[in-house]
Amino acid sequence: DGGITQSPKYLFRKEGQNVTLSCEQNLNHDAMYWYRQDPGQGLRLIYYSQIVNDFQKGDIAEGYSVSREKKESFPLTVTSAQKNPTAFYLCASSITSGGAIEQFFGPGTRLTVL
Partner 1 sequence: GENVEQHPSTLSVQEGDSAVIKCTYSDSASNYFPWYKQELGKRPQLIIDIRSNVGEKKDQRIAVTLNKTAKHFSLHITETQPEDSAVYFCAASPGGGTSGSRLTFGEGTQLTVNP
Neighbours of 105 (CB within 10 A): 15
Cross-strand partners of 104: 93
With CB under 8 A as the contact rule, the residue among 45, 52, 60, 61 that binds partner 1 is 45
With CB under 8 A as the contact rule, the residue among 78, 106, 109, 111 that binds partner 1 is 106
Residue 94 contacts partner 1 per CB under 8 A: yes
- Binding region for partner 1 (CB under 8 A): 31, 33, 35, 40-45, 48, 50, 58-59, 90, 94-96, 99, 101-103, 105-108
